[in-house]
Amino acid sequence: MAPTALLSVSDKRDLVPLAQGLLLAGYRLISSGGTAAALAAAGLSVTKVAEHTGAPEILGGRVKTLHPRIHGGILARRSEASHLADLAAQDIEAIDVVVVNLYPFRETVADPAVAFETAIENIDIGGPAMVRAAAKNHDDVAVLTDPDQYPSFLEALAAGRVDRALRRQLALAAYRHTAAYDAAISTWLAERLAAEQPAAATSGTSESAVAAPLRLDLPARQSLRYGENPHQRATWYSAPAAGWGAASQLQGKELSYNNLIDLEAALATVREFGYGEQRQQPAAVVVKHTNPCGVATGNSSAEALLRALDADRVSAFGGIVALNGPVDGAAAAHLTGLFLECVVAPAYDADARAALAAKANLRLLELSPAAIAAAPHQQLRSVLGGVLLQAFDDQPVEEDAWQVVSRRQPTEAELDDLRFAWRVVRHVRSNAISVARGGQSLGIGAGQMNRVGSARLALEAAGERAQGAVLASDGFFPFDDTVRLAAAHGISAVIQPGGSVRDGDSISACDDLGLAMVCTGRRHFLH
């Protein structure tokens, strides 16, 4: 009797070449629904599942393959005489290859507006059952769950090498496939239920919200050369259609661990000014070791980039650059004379690609707004034995909550500068200080153990440019020393969260020294 292959796939990439290879190897094909129609349209010989089982599809297609003639054929152990006897008694043919991938549940729920009922109908039942059955009986059955497996499987089939070792590897991939599918369903359902009860989910009073397990299924995208240092091993795991996994690398060396960490920081900073078609104004960011060293806006990408580089030319060497709009030839010209690790932007035109092609090692990444939107709105950090999860700190600035607490009101120009500096400082590692003027950062103080230390770094970097500039702090001032230091360097206005028991000291210092102070009521620590 000819061997039998069962094919039932949602993703029909390379389905026909696989089926042709199976027919060439002498297999009989069984298939259902759209898969059978696709094979028949290609002129291939195929038996419909309903013909094989003698039972029609019912419940609008919900029940097609849940039948003893299917699962008996998959699960029968060829080495067990009793199993073979059962097959013979029931006139069931053994199934030797199972090719199944599942309803596109993840793609369906990627649309935040998807109806609950639509999502539920895209939960596959028969598919996972067949995949798990074939994986369990991998001693006798090969199971394929990904079109990328087809070419190597056909090569092995032609060479007579579909052995136990290969079937075990395919079984492992199959269990990962169904595990990821179940994780996607449970994660979506938990998020949906939490959204329907927002007060309970955010207050911590809901036991189910607190105790909900975190399930991750991220394929290994790339084994990295090393981690932060050459003696550390590292791997990049990423969803293929979301975030950095969906970015296109147009040229340059392989991305490193540090590149990805810095790219994330640069992207988060430049997105403060909108991104792609949603950009509010052209902006550019230069990052070193996760901290922005130059941030600027301009009338064009080229102008914004030049101003960001000019903010701190020394620190920009070896940096990561992010732009929130297309890179043209004029912008690319500012990138050719400086050693940089990576550039990320929504797009590059032909002139930019031609200009940057000479820098063969420069990594150019094109990241679409859609890829950003498809990524989960969560941040994970590892701790010993576990992970911490939080929402991104990217909520819109709520200026209605700002309060001018000094006697002197800031001027309109100072308010514009304070808005800019506040957008920048939330992306600087705490304790964080930014000095800015005219849509350009002039000095950044990052990661110091005391706030006045970060202020000193930022003001010294700004130098004479601090005259008439503004200063932003990610956390409140515990003492008035930062205000007095800022005034001594010519700072005219300050923005900070407020909330210290000594706020009065800092406010009094502003009043004594003629500075304007705005309190935002929101802290932006970044560790």
pLDDT 10s digits, 188-203: 887 788 777 754 444 4
Q: How many CB atoms lie within 10 A of CB 175?
A: 16
**Bridge-based pairing state of the strands 340-345 and 363-366:** parallel
> Could you tell me which residues come within 8 angstroms of residue 505 by beta carbon, excluding any fewer than 6 positions away?
479, 480
The C-alpha atoms of residue 308 and residue 302 are separated, in whole angstroms, by 10
Give the pLDDT of residue 58: 75
- Which residue from 131, 127, 73 is spatially nearest to 103, judged by alpha carbons? 127
The C-alpha atoms of residue 298 and residue 310 are separated, in whole angstroms, by 13
Phi, psi of 440 (to 5 degrees): -145, 130
Tell me which residues of the chain have a pLDDT lower than 70: 198-212
- Which residue from 289, 323, 318 is spatially nearest to 307, judged by alpha carbons? 323
- The position carrying tokens 């195929």 is 46
Give the pLDDT of residue 338: 92
Tokens of 236: 């990049």
Helix-strand-coil split of the chain, %, nearest 5: 45, 20, 35
β-bridge mates for residue 381, sequence order:
388
**Bridge-based pairing state of the strands 4-9 and 97-101:** parallel
- Residues annotated as part of the active site: 136, 289
The C-alpha atoms of residue 340 and residue 318 are separated, in whole angstroms, by 4
Each residue's pLDDT tens digit, 491-519: 999 999 999 999 999 999 999 999 999 99
Residue 65 region, left (φ>0) first, then alpha (ψ -120 to 50), else beta? alpha
Angle, alpha carbons 229-305-278 (nearest 5°): 100
Give the pLDDT of residue 212: 66
Each residue's pLDDT tens digit, 105-125: 877 777 778 888 888 888 888
Contact 231, 225 (CB under 8 A): no
The share of the chain scoring above pLDDT 90, in percent, equals 68
Phi, psi of 428 (to 5 degrees): -105, 140
pTM attached to this predicted model: 0.78
68-75 vs 81-90: helix axis angle to the nearest 10? 160
